[in-house]
């Protein structure tokens, strides 16, 4: 029986979105299957958790879902910078 261990990176960053600081939780699985996917979650003003993913592409990290609040979509570049900084 062969055991394989994969590194799991989790971190939290405060990012200003929609005029206030919000806590974004990032999770990146460094496994052969999910190496280019980062899961992100944040709460909205009502306390509802919003979960979405970013996938690494040739041009950088891009949000894969389309029906997200505009304040999330507007911060795609900020998320990309945070992910790249943490994975160095």
Determine the pLDDT at residue 32.
Answer: 66
Q: 76: helix, coil or strand?
A: helix
Determine the pLDDT at residue 77.
Answer: 94
pLDDT greater than 70 at residue 3: yes
**Residue 38 vs residue 8, higher pLDDT:** 38
Which residue carries 């994969």 as its tokens? 6
Give 21-68 pLDDT, tens digit per residue.
Answer: 999 999 987 666 666 889 999 999 999 999 999 999 888 999 998 899
Query: Exposure string (b/e) for 17-52, b if CB count within 10 Å is 16 or more?
Result: beeeebebebebbeeeeeeebbebebeeeeeeebeb
Number of structural domains found in the chain: 1
DSSP conformational letter for 31: S
What range defines the domain where residue 19 resides?
7-87
Has residue 41 been placed in a domain?
yes
Has residue 1 been placed in a domain?
no
- At residue 49, φ and ψ (nearest 5 deg) are -85, 130
Alpha carbon distance 46, 87 (integer Å): 31
Determine the pLDDT at residue 33.
Answer: 65
């Amino acid at each position: 029986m062969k055991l394989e261990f994969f590194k799991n990176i989790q971190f939290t960053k405060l990012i200003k979105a929609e005029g206030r600081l919000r806590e974004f939780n990032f999770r990146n699985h460094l496994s052969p299957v999910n190496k280019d996917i980062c899961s992100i979650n944040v709460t909205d003003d009502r306390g509802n958790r919003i979960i979405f993913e970013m996938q690494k592409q040739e041009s950088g990290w891009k949000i894969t879902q389309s029906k997200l609040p505009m304040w999330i979509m507007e911060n795609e570049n900020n998320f990309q910078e945070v992910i790249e900084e943490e994975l160095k």
